[in-house]
Amino acid sequence: MLEQSNTLGAAVAKRIAHYRTEQFSEHDRDHAEAFVKAAVAETAPVSVYAAKKLLAAVTGYVAWCIRKGADMPLDRAVVFDPALIERYAAEGLPDLTPSTAGNYRAMLRRVAEALPETAHLHAARTTLPASTPVTPYTAAEDTAILAWADSLPEGSTRWSVRAAVAACRGAGATAAELWGVRGTDVVSRGPAVAVTVGGANARTIVVLDRWAGTLAECADHAGDAWLFAPARTSDRTKQVNFYVERAARTCDVEGVQVQRMRATWMVDHLDRGTPLPVLRAAAGLKSLRSLDNYLRFATDRDDADEWLAGTKDAR
């Protein structure tokens, strides 16, 4: 499988040969791992990226491809198609910032450009386009998703889905942040409800009033257990998206995804006139520039002249 060992170097070749991952099911693991390792072994010698990073990027991408298309063949010309890589960057990395998702996209494109089966597909594109923004829900879709979550039959799925909708749509939490929330992390904050999330951007977020009651109810039900999937047996945060998307097969709205809930929360606050520094902090963003992808969806304001004239009461 690794004919290029001399070019790779013994240490790198050994790392690739011994690479294992839990991202694939038992049914797909052997075939998928072999596909990933062969692609990385062939491209690592001419790549500016370390083999370790390439393995991680290609594994995550191939696992997403398998989930999205159960009948998709692990064929290089299919998997490394430019349009599919673009779709993955837009939809398959909900827990990453746009810049980090762009880095993964760049790595995958470099892999595709180095493989003989797909190099010609990417040759015409010398620059990477801007990341496709995640589209927020319409008001009708928003209402339908909340009603769908509330209508689910009693059981663990209902509580987990309602918690996901309330935390991600009501507070802009990411899937990774939701994964680490316990019922006791949801508290009253004056007349409002707030949720504390951990991770690299740990913070406390006040929940939009429309979703506050649902989140508080889910927290009371969870107690000191995990708010989402309390009976979990693994520590894979990506299960949040799988879980929600699988449950959403009964929903009339297409594309029920955590990242779209968070995007809708962002645009909701922009439309409400929430000050950008306040929104940046609540969203766990490093800079206001990260809001650019959401500003394009914001509604034009009819009080713009008042704001610009300094006569608008911002209190």
Residue 197's CATH number: 1.10.443.10
The mean pLDDT of the chain is: 86
Statement to judge: residues 110 and 145 lie in one domain? no
pLDDT of residue 274: 93
Statement to judge: residues 165 and 201 lie in one domain? yes
Statement to judge: residues 159 and 293 lie in one domain? yes
Range of the domain at 37: 5-122
- Percent of the chain predicted with pLDDT > 70: 90
Summarize pLDDT for 36-60 with one digit per residue, the tens. Answer: 999 999 998 888 888 999 999 999 9
Statement to judge: residues 86 and 166 lie in one domain? no
Determine if residue 205 is left, alpha or beta; phi over 0 gives left, psi from -120 to 50 gives alpha, anything else beta: beta
Query: Whole-angstrom Cα distance, residue 32 to residue 24?
Result: 7
Among candidate residues 280, 299, 298, the one with its CA nearest the CA of residue 290: 280
Does residue 311 belong to any structural domain of this protein? no
Among candidate residues 218, 214, 208, 209, the one with its CA nearest the CA of residue 262: 208
For residue 33, what pLDDT band results from cuts at 50, 70 and 90?
A: very high
- Tokens representing 28 are 């797909």
**Across residues 108-136, what is the average pLDDT?**
74
Instruction: Report whether 132 contacts 293 (CB < 8 A).
Output: no
Does residue 108 belong to any structural domain of this protein? yes
Does residue 129 belong to any structural domain of this protein? no
Statement to judge: residues 86 and 219 lie in one domain? no
Among candidate residues 134, 140, 125, the one with its CA nearest the CA of residue 168: 134
Name 195's bridge partners.
Answer: 186, 205
- Three-class DSSP category at 194: strand
Query: Whole-angstrom Cα distance, residue 57 to residue 52?
Result: 9
Statement to judge: residues 193 and 288 lie in one domain? yes
Does residue 315 belong to any structural domain of this protein? no
Higher model confidence: residue 234 or residue 205?
205
Statement to judge: residues 228 and 291 lie in one domain? yes
If one counts the domains in the chain, the total is: 2
DSSP output for 228-273: S-TT--S--TTHHHHHHHHHGGG-SSS---HHHHHHHHHHHHHHHT
Statement to judge: residues 32 and 149 lie in one domain? no
pLDDT of residue 236: 60
- Percent of the chain predicted with pLDDT > 90: 43
- Three-class DSSP category at 129: coil
Burial of 169 (0-12, 13-18, 19+ CB in 10 A): buried
Tokens 């107690």 locate to 223
Residues, the chain: 315
Statement to judge: residues 143 and 287 lie in one domain? yes
Burial of 302 (0-12, 13-18, 19+ CB in 10 A): exposed
pLDDT of residue 98: 75
For residues 116-146, one letter each, b for 16 or more C-beta atoms within 10 angstroms of the residue's C-beta and e for the rest, the string is eebeebbeeeeeeeebeebebbeeebbebbb
Does residue 232 belong to any structural domain of this protein? yes
Query: Whole-angstrom Cα distance, residue 240 to residue 258?
Result: 8
Summarize pLDDT for 244-291 with one digit per residue, the tens. Answer: 888 888 888 888 888 899 999 999 999 999 999 999 999 998 888 888
The answer, yes or no, to whether residue 192 has pLDDT greater than 90, is: yes
Does residue 134 belong to any structural domain of this protein? no
In this structure, the number of other CB atoms found within 10 A of the CB of residue 27 comes to: 9
The pTM score is: 0.64
For residue 293, what pLDDT band results from cuts at 50, 70 and 90?
A: confident
Summarize pLDDT for 54-93 with one digit per residue, the tens. Answer: 999 999 999 988 887 656 688 898 899 888 898 888 888 8
Statement to judge: residues 81 and 151 lie in one domain? no
**Strand (E) or helix (H) holding 192:** strand 192-197
Q: Are strands 203-206 and 192-197 parallel, antiparallel or unpaired?
A: antiparallel
Domain end marker among 92, 122, 152: 122
Statement to judge: residues 64 and 156 lie in one domain? no
Statement to judge: residues 32 and 92 lie in one domain? yes
Does residue 130 belong to any structural domain of this protein? no
